[in-house]
Structure 1
Amino acid sequence: MAWLHLLFASAAEIVWAFTLKASDGFTKPLMAAINVAALLAAVWFLVQAMRTLPLGTAYAVWTGIGVVGAAVLGVVVLGESASPLRLSAIALIVTGVVMLKLAEG
């Protein structure tokens, strides 16, 4: 269950990051409200995951998935650069997250 909580926390972090950009400096009330709700959800699910998972693993996986999700959304939705170097960096983060998961079993 801890890993499921961590996935929900990561998904909420991706929403949080995306709506942080979409809120345009909190000038768009709907995006700002979604942003705050996503942040609260992300932290709540992360706390639940950390009841079982080690701090280093939980936090690293949470931020790793969040970084990858936000970067992919940036490329796909916002038209940000998809240069080979950027995609390689994303692949390295994914590799690190997978290795942490495997290390925990």
Structure 2
Amino acid sequence: MNSAWLYLIAAGICEVAWAIGLKYSEGFTKLGVSVVTVIIMILSFVLLAQAMKSLPLGTAYASWTGIGAVGAALLGIFLFNEPKDAIRLLCIGLIIAGVLGLKFLAKE
């Protein structure tokens, strides 16, 4: 795995972290959580920008949002008792399949 994909994975993890931070910041009404959330947002964008130096725009952006969407959905299930019905899990699986397809099947 090249460094661009490592940047992209790190950016996706940061996206999950700031999405969860948004929930815990309660609409940016909690100062400490809000500051950390904004810092992680900026880090996520910086890492995505690094990945985009060598990855195609569509691949990088779709993978970044896919990692974020899957991570946020799964953490929503575990942290916030959000629904975990079969169709929701199937849709999460489809996002994972799409990201893996971009990584392993698409030509860079």
Which position in structure 1 is the counterpart of 2:37? 35
- Displaced runs of 4 or more, over 6 A: none
In 2, the alpha carbon distance for the partners of 1:29 and 1:85 equals: 37
Number of residue pairs matched by the alignment? 105
Which position in structure 2 is the counterpart of 1:100? 102
Q: Where in structure 1 are there 5+ consecutive unaligned residues?
A: none
**1:41-52 alignment runs, 5 A limit:** 41-52=43-54
**2:63 paired residue among 61, 64, 70:** 61
Percentage of identical aligned residues: 48
TM-score (norm: length of structure 1): 0.97
Which position in structure 2 is the counterpart of 1:71? 73
Matched, 1:21 2:20: no
Deviations 1:18-65 (A, max 9, x none): 111110011111210111011000000000000000000000000000
In 1, the alpha carbon distance for the partners of 2:36 and 2:65 equals: 19
In 2, the alpha carbon distance for the partners of 1:47 and 1:85 equals: 33
TM-score (norm: length of structure 2): 0.94
**1:85 paired residue among 67, 84, 87:** 87
In 1, the alpha carbon distance for the partners of 2:81 and 2:4 equals: 34
SS at match of 2:54: coil
